[in-house]
Structure 1
Amino acid sequence: MFTGPATALWICGPLMSLIDTAVIGQGSSIELAALGPGTVFCDDMSYIFMFLSIATSNMVATSLTRQDKMECSIKYLSCSCWVGLRHFDASIHKILWFMGPNCFYRSKDVHILPAANTYVQIRGLAWPAILIGWVTQSASLGMKDSWGPLKALAVASAVNAIGDIVFCKILQVWYCWRSMANNGVTISVPSSNDLLEIFEIAAPLFVMMISKVAFYTLIIYFATSMGTITLAAHQVMIQTFMMITVCGEPLSQTAQSFMPEFLYGANRNLAKARMLLKSLVIIGVILGLFLGIVGTSVPWLFPNIFTPDQAIIQEMHKVLVPFFITLAVTPCILSLEGTLLAGRDLKFISLSMSGCFILSALVLLLVSSRGYGLSGYWYALVGFLWARFFFALQRLLSPAGILFSENISQNKLDKLTVA
């Protein structure tokens, strides 16, 4: 009941980028290649700043287990909105307008650059609304309400379908704000203690998110050196991957919304927490296989949806096997990492993610130097995902982990109570 509506929330953004890819690909292979760095730059930049959204959801869900109820949740929402607008919106605009996707290109690719820059600059106009939308949406999910944001997003997506992304975001923010208006939500300047608490949670999350984004960015950086055809094929496959894998994000959100009650709540029950994780992993396995089969079938059987160019289609078909593996394993990874986030095992998850990035980046360098091509880069992505899976699984199954150690859970609870 919770995960179903939440799935639609995660699909909407990547779906819009995938629609861009499908429409542009029908007209121009060059512009399709330009969308590669363009969409990756915008989507990955947004993915980096998802740490603010995750932190908001985490703080709201945890505050409710401490019987702080709506008052504390509103405080966290207000602080996160202020931080997002005050600091990160300006930073994003500077990066989008002054650097853009230029860093991806070599001299032989300059013919692609104007189209990519135009795409990035137009999408950058929506950033203020995007940041507020994320924070308010995450606050609702932290309160275990996935239907309210879904209703707003349904209206927003309909407007987006006719091309008006600015009004799309305004409507989303308006609905989320209206649902909390009776509780006195405002954007206020947070105290130093509030900022410190946000920083303690957000800093490790930032490291985690930027490690993910850096790896995906490295892949497309190397792909640009292989020519327009290969870059266009990678754009189709990576955009499809991004859209499909977000279907597993609600499993992570479910863990973050419901797990704190079992880990920190007045009726703390680690056995129920372990049972919830088991259920999420089982669902993740089933969902992963389903997404792998359905997702791989689209570029395999219906590649003309994206492009009529047979050379691009042949490049797409070379990576179908690693493409399937990445889709199949991602929902389980998100279930495990969502549980670690719910347990605020932030130091471990940030260190493990950065470690996976470093090792996988070395693999990418090896693949590039040996000339294994696009399939080599996708197998490097497979290794990156499986490394994350095994690190998270080992941590959660450890006797000293958050799901087994009473002492660790109690220490965390005491720390939260003091805060």
Structure 2
Amino acid sequence: MLWKRASTRTFIVLLHLLTYRAGAFASLSSRQASYRSRGPLVPSQSTQRGRVLTTTTESSGDVPRGGDLPRRIPDLPTLADYRKFALPCLALWIAGPLLSLVDTSFIGLSGSPDLSANNLAALGPATTFFDGATYLFAFLNVATTNLYASARSQSGPNSPEAESVVRTASRVAVNCGIGIMFFLLAFARPLLKLYMGDKAASTPGLLDAATDYVLIRALSMPTSLLLGVLQAALLGAKDSVTPLIAILYATVVNIFGDFILVNRLQMSLKGAAIATTLAQWASTAALIAPARRNLVKDHSLGLVRKPKPFPGGVTGRTFLAFAAPVLTLILGKLAAFGFMTNAAAGVPGQPTPLAAHQIILSLLFFCSPFLEVISQTAQTFLPSYLAPIFEHMDKLRKRNPDYKPEEDPAVEPWLNTSKLVATRLLGIGMVTAAVVASIVSLIPAFFGNLITSDLTVQQAVKPLAKYLWMGAFFWAPVAVCEGVLLARRELSFLASIYLVSTALLPPVLLRIKFRGGTVGQVWACFAIFQLFRAACFIGRIWGPGLVHRVLGRRQPLPATDRGS
């Protein structure tokens, strides 16, 4: 039963690992984002409906400086551009869960059957607890990608503004990593005891093994968070090759480390923790040198000596002001899946309902990387169209308090182009979701024997296939729109929707639990939860423009959190 309990918790690890990669990983080869010509500064009647595209800059270059608009709107990304960006991103996403699978496999296959079961029982809560602590800081990665991509679009690559994002993010990440490291070293054991429950914690050796694992892994926290923000910055620079190479270093070190320490030296969980920590250090070391070379001109990340601030640079306060609302999104996601698991564990007929729930949950998490990469694509590509025009509007507001952006002929073409990019990404996401959801849903519907040998569980997952399809399909508009809204800096709106949806979902799930409902009802609630968020996000992005077009009015401007 301990092994089953560990398996239950281990499934949840996939959520933390997969979602954590969303703010940290992926992108194109290391080249500067090109601003290709779209024609003369005065567009034709057919392309811009007779509106003149003006600019506030006299420079002949395409890179904006000091808040001025570039002379031409960048070309729309092609499908090839998206593909070159998303495929390495997907590889980076999958790498994380594979590292955990390596640890689990070596632990499960080493030692006697009884020892292997006990070690797996300890590994489940230990990895879930540690990855949950790491995932809470994923907001650093999201903030880094958005702020760095925006700074590059406004001021150009290797500009002081862009470099300040890298240095600030690196310092904040290391400081947070040191803080959480000491916190875990001091309180890991009592927190693990509380997390595991008295019954599991009282099992001989279980709490000790889990605590040892977390204490060793805690030593990698500073480098782990630094690795995340450096990967996120390279993502903003459209460089996926360098992060992918760093992950390959980690994979090789982890496999050889597990083979030597776990398989040969029989060090069990301690060996797995040491191997994973060494892999984390190796990956960070492999990334620091190219990050310093490609992201900052003086090759200094500002970790030892804090650089002097300058006007327009991103400070720690500015960085955290952007990152804080993103934390609401992360907590909302964790709360939703946590309450779902709690409700599924409380319905009658256990352990079959919980087993069926965990199978569907794990399949859903398998689908998520294919959709979250499109969210990351939006966060990387959209700032090229949004950041210059927002900076342009801010600059003119300061010059003229009566300035009305909706009457500025330079604004609408940029916003229309950004919305076209967002629309194409939404279409790509919906098609991808339909294909992936349909394929994955076939497993519980017709091939349950591939994931469980229990005939009762096979029958229990069949009716859940339709809810798996809906949850995975609606994940696409949610993920894509999240990326668009993050790029538009609509953080307050995102946070409010997650607060509302997170407040509404748990009472319904608890009602299902206390009234003796079914796990199918739990997943039906999740499908509605996804649909609600998708409708809110789509309505926010495309709704106002559609309504004003029908009424013949001018399209309203996005209500961004410019103070962030």
Structure 1 residues 11-410: aligned runs within 5 Å: 11-17=94-100, 40-70=128-158, 71-91=160-180, 94=183, 97-100=188-191, 102-103=193-194, 115=206, 118-119=209-210, 122=213, 124-125=217-218, 126-162=220-256, 163=258, 164-182=275-293, 183=297, 184-188=299-303, 189=306, 194-225=315-346, 227=350, 230-265=353-388, 269-299=414-444, 303=448, 306-399=451-544, 408=557
Q: Do the aligned partners of 1:101 and 1:117 also contact (CA within 8 Å) in 2?
A: no
Question: Structure 1 residues 18 and 361 mapped into 2: Cα distance closer, same or farther (>3 Å)?
Answer: farther
Question: Structure 1 residues 106 and 231 mapped into 2: Cα distance closer, same or farther (>3 Å)?
Answer: farther
* Greater displacement, 20-29 / 295-304: 20-29
Paired residue secondary structure (2:544): coil
Question: Structure 1 residues 167 and 109 mapped into 2: Cα distance closer, same or farther (>3 Å)?
Answer: closer
State the TM-score, normalizing by the size of structure 2.
0.64
Q: Deviations over 1:365-407 (max 9, x none)?
A: 1111122233332222222221211111111124379x99887
Question: Structure 1 residues 295 and 398 mapped into 2: Cα distance closer, same or farther (>3 Å)?
Answer: same
2: CA distance, partners of 1:302 / 1:36: 26
2: CA distance, partners of 1:130 / 1:32: 24
What code does the residue aligned with 1:383 have? I
Question: Structure 1 residues 282 and 408 mapped into 2: Cα distance closer, same or farther (>3 Å)?
Answer: closer
2: CA distance, partners of 1:293 / 1:285: 12
What code does the residue aligned with 1:56 have? T
Distance apart, 1:136 and its partner CA:
0.7
Paired-residue identity, %? 24
2: CA distance, partners of 1:19 / 1:314: 30
Higher helix share: 1
What code does the residue aligned with 2:336 have? F
Q: Do the aligned partners of 2:474 and 2:530 also contact (CA within 8 Å) in 1?
A: yes
Paired residue secondary structure (1:340): helix
Unaligned runs of 5+ residues in structure 1 are none
2:92 aligned with 1:9: yes
What code does the residue aligned with 1:63 have? A
Question: Structure 1 residues 121 and 326 mapped into 2: Cα distance closer, same or farther (>3 Å)?
Answer: farther
Determine which structure has greater relative contact order: mean sequence separation of CA pairs < 8 Å that are 6+ residues apart, divided by chain length.
Answer: 1
Distance apart, 1:217 and its partner CA:
1.9
Q: Deviations over 1:96-149 (max 9, x none)?
A: 714545455666666789658845762543433321121111001111222321
1: CA distance, partners of 2:286 / 2:232: 13
Question: Structure 1 residues 104 and 336 mapped into 2: Cα distance closer, same or farther (>3 Å)?
Answer: same
Distance apart, 1:281 and its partner CA:
1.0
Unaligned runs of 5+ residues in structure 2 are 1-83, 259-274, 390-409
Question: Structure 1 residues 42 and 378 mapped into 2: Cα distance closer, same or farther (>3 Å)?
Answer: farther
Question: Structure 1 residues 159 and 106 mapped into 2: Cα distance closer, same or farther (>3 Å)?
Answer: closer
State the TM-score, normalizing by the size of structure 1.
0.84
What code does the residue aligned with 1:272 have? T
1: CA distance, partners of 2:335 / 2:148: 28
1: CA distance, partners of 2:492 / 2:150: 18
2: CA distance, partners of 1:24 / 1:297: 31
* Greater displacement, 100-109 / 192-201: 100-109
Q: Do the aligned partners of 1:223 and 1:374 also contact (CA within 8 Å) in 2?
A: yes
2: CA distance, partners of 1:105 / 1:154: 33
Question: Structure 1 residues 153 and 193 mapped into 2: Cα distance closer, same or farther (>3 Å)?
Answer: closer
Q: Do the aligned partners of 2:175 and 2:222 also contact (CA within 8 Å) in 1?
A: no
Question: Structure 1 residues 293 and 46 mapped into 2: Cα distance closer, same or farther (>3 Å)?
Answer: farther
Distance apart, 1:284 and its partner CA:
0.8
**What's the Cα RMSD here?**
3.7
Distance apart, 1:202 and its partner CA:
0.8
2: CA distance, partners of 1:24 / 1:319: 32
Structure showing greater Rg = 2
Question: Structure 1 residues 159 and 196 mapped into 2: Cα distance closer, same or farther (>3 Å)?
Answer: same
Q: Do the aligned partners of 2:445 and 2:465 also contact (CA within 8 Å) in 1?
A: yes
2: CA distance, partners of 1:312 / 1:31: 25
